Structures are given as C-alpha cells and as structure tokens.
Amino acid sequence: GENVEQHPSTLSVQEGDSAVIKCTYSDSASNYFPWYKQELGKGPQLIIDIRSNVGEKKDQRIAVTLNKTAKHFSLHITETQPEDSAVYFCAASKANRDDKIIFGKGTRLHILP
C-alpha cells in the first residue's frame, strides 16, 4: 500500500522568511496530493491540493510542487506570518472514490518573531 514520508518533523523560521516541507510517496499510481493545516485544538483543514497532471500550483503565499518521476512533492510558504504556525500534513491517494488518503506524520512549523 501507499506510504508517505514527511520531513522535517519540526521547522522553525523567522517571520517573513520562507518555509519548505517535503514529502515522498511510494505508490506510483497515486495522483492526488492534498496538504492540510492543523491548528491547536482543531481538525486538519485542507489548504491546497495538486493533481498529477500539473507540476506546480500556487495560491497567494502558498505553493505546491510535484515531481512524479522522483515521487516527491513539496509545500512552500513565502513571507511567513505568525498565523502560519501550525502542524502541516501532506497526503497522497489514487483519487479513486474508494481509495483512502494516506497522511504523512506531520511537520510542526514555528514562526519566530
């Protein structure tokens, strides 16, 4: 089955700097890669996703890149702000309606003042 590895487990960046979180997946048939943000005391919230027919997607300060050959994908947050502090999860699935999304272990992002 699918296995998703996520690095780093903890990341601290100065406010205003960029943050990058990287993930790898094992199943070459996976074609849907969502990213979730979990704030303290809340459930994970979908912030951006990418499908395998594109290599990059941007939404304001957030961007995701996908390299299907290498089976890795990354989340980039630019101009980080205090409200970006949270746990971020990458995930992968085959986007078949009966296929479950497999999550990475999460990255705790700290934005330093």
Partner 1 sequence: DAGVIQSPRHEVTEMGQEVTLRCKPISGHDYLFWYRQTMMRGLELLIYFNNNVPIDDSGMPEDRFSAKMPNASFSTLKIQPSEPRDSAVYFCASSFPELYGYTFGSGTRLTVV
Residue ranges that bind partner 1, judged by CB under 8 A: 32, 34, 36, 41-46, 49, 89, 93, 95, 97-98, 100-106
Beta carbon of residue 31, minimum distance to partner 1 (angstroms, whole number): 10
Please give the structure tokens belonging to residue 46. 């979908």
CB of 84 or CB of 89, closer to partner 1: 89
CB of 69 or CB of 97, closer to partner 1: 97
CB of 71 or CB of 108, closer to partner 1: 108
> CB–CB of 37/52 below 8 Å?
no
Cα→Cα distances 72→59, 80, 83, 92, Å: 20, 23, 26, 10
Beta carbon of residue 81, minimum distance to partner 1 (angstroms, whole number): 23
The C-alpha angle with vertex 57 and arms to 9 and 65, in degrees rounded to 5, equals 45
